[in-house]
Structure 1
Amino acid sequence: MNRFVNRFFLITFLLSLAACHNSKPHRELDFDESIRNLHQEEHHLHTSPKQDLPFVVHRNLDVVWDASHDDIIRLPSFSFTNQDKETISQETLKGRYVIANFFYMHCAGMCPLIMGNMKKIYQKIQNPNVVLLSHSLMPETDTPEKLKEFSTALGADERWQFVTGPKAAMYELARETYHADTSRGQESLGDNFRHGEHIYLIDPEGRIRGLYNGKNPAAVKALLADLSKLTCCTPNNPI
């Protein structure tokens, strides 16, 4: 009897070991599969729905990939005068890629560095459908004649427009569309204006697709790479 009982427990124990041995790989497989699925879900959450540039929206200058989003920043109607005393407006730029910034000629702070990087961008770009647009924030001193001298010194042609105009209109565009005034509270009123360091990439529909630190060489390279994406150029072709 005891021999039978011992044999029964031995068989039961061996069967239990076999069951554990057979089930372990399945549990490990389930765990590994779960980890793979988790990584795939995280990858899906943190990558864009499309391998394309996002659109910048007014709220916190955040970005979205939905082209139908109602808060996307778009260029409004405007009319300024360039270095050749010609009118530059949203209609002039329609259908073209625009690289924009704000400056004034006698700025002794960040402007020289930003304008130097704008020149590097200008020299890299060969695509005639791309135009640089530099807005002067000092219309009382940065007249078309002065802007012509300035643009000539930079070696710019019609692919780089320097514009001036009524201060109220220029400040409104800078504040309401580009969010370029870094002043705060009561300082951000009237003639008080402290411009930021951004360079803006705008598509042919007048939508802002990217903001870049105009003082940072790496950001300038990123802008050129993003422009290539928008214009569908390959690295071996001119932007």
Structure 2
Amino acid sequence: MRNYWLISIFLVACSETPVSKIPFYNTPDFNPYFISEAEASSKITHRIKPFAFYNQDSTLFRSESLQGKVYVANFIFTRCSNICPDMTAQMKRIEKAFQSNSTVALVSFTVTPWFDDVKTLHKFGEKFQISSSNWSLLTGPKASIYTLARQSFFAEESIGYNKDTNEFLHTEHIILVDQKGRIRGIYNGTIPLDADQCIEDMKLLLQE
């Protein structure tokens, strides 16, 4: 009888699917779900919606190119003189950590596309020495960027989810997205320790 229970416990333990160390996020309140990939397949329904914007090289960048990649996204504007340079510095640290990894990408969306055309973004990239082919600075119609930011990336959490597109979008968040377009992390893009955590979480996602 004792051996029977030991075998039963062993079989149950072996049949349990490992819980992901990186949480899944499904709603704007960023309530974390620490569940297995199998559970996430049915419980996590939110995905980043498809998008297409022009990058700093005047090339149309489509979100399809991010499929199968781990990527981070943030929202900036080139005339920002305090928070955005800090965020860009932390994004550069993330870029450097994965500079030779083609399965990692970074995307920075401008929140002032009426100022930040492709030429301006190109100059911004030169100023901050953004030379990696894996980091795209994107511009396009304001309404499209703002809707994507708030309803796909939850850039302003629940407070900003239903804001009108005329209301200015400004956030310090860096959002981590996995290979299937699901949100897996949210970090303060001005804090080095948060950037460090983002890097570590990305490494774990690449191993899943």
Give the TM-score taking structure 1 as reference length. 0.71
Question: Larger deviation: 106-115 or 49-58?
Answer: 49-58
- Structure 2 vs 1, CA of residues 201 and 190 (structure 1 numbering), >3 Å: closer, same or farther? closer
Do the aligned residues in 1 keep the contact of 2:68 with 2:179 (CA within 8 Å)?
yes
Equivalent-residue separation in structure 2 for 1:78 and 1:91 (angstroms): 8
The aligned residue for residue 103 of structure 2 is: 129
Aligned-pair distance for 1:124? 1.8
**SS of the residue 2:86 aligns to:** helix
Determine whether 1:75 maps to 2:44. no
Determine which structure has more spread, i.e. the larger CA radius of gyration. Answer: 1
Within the alignment, does 1:152 sit opposite 2:152 as a pair? no
Q: SS of the counterpart of 2:40?
A: coil
* CA distance in structure 2 between the partners assigned to 1:70 and 1:51 by the alignment: 14
Partner of residue 155, structure 2: 180
- Distance apart, 1:180 and its partner CA: 1.5
Map 1:78-227 onto structure 2 (within 5 A).
78-125=51-98, 126-156=100-130, 157-181=132-156, 188-227=163-202
CA contact (8 A) 1:55 1:72 kept: no
Which one-letter code corresponds to 2:117 in the other structure?
T
**Matched residue of 2:196: which SS?**
helix
Q: 1:123 to 1:166 in 2, by over 3 A?
A: same
Q: Give the alignment's Cα RMSD to 1 decimal.
A: 2.3
**Number of residue pairs the alignment of both structures matches:** 185
CA displacement 1:74-110 (0-9 Å, x = unmatched)? 1112111101111112212111111110001111342
Matches of 2:76 and 2:123 in 1, distance apart? Answer: 15
Residue 54 of structure 1 pairs with residue 28 of structure 2: no
Give the direction of change, closer, same or farther, for the CA distance of 1:182–1:210 in structure 2 (3 Å limit): closer
| Larger helix percent | 1
2: CA distance between counterparts of 1:76 and 1:216?
Answer: 28
Greater shift, 62-71 or 133-142, is seen at 62-71
- Give the C-alpha shift of residue 214 in structure 1: 0.8
Gaps of at least 5 residues in structure 1 are: 1-47, 234-239
- Partners of 1:59 and 1:179 lie apart in 2 by 5
Q: Show structure 2 runs of 5+ residues with no match.
A: 1-16
- Residue type of the alignment partner of 1:214: G
**Structure with higher RCO (Cα < 8 A, 6+ apart):** 2
Which residue is equivalent to 2:6? Answer: none
Amino acid at match of 2:139: T
Question: Percent identity over the alignment?
Answer: 34
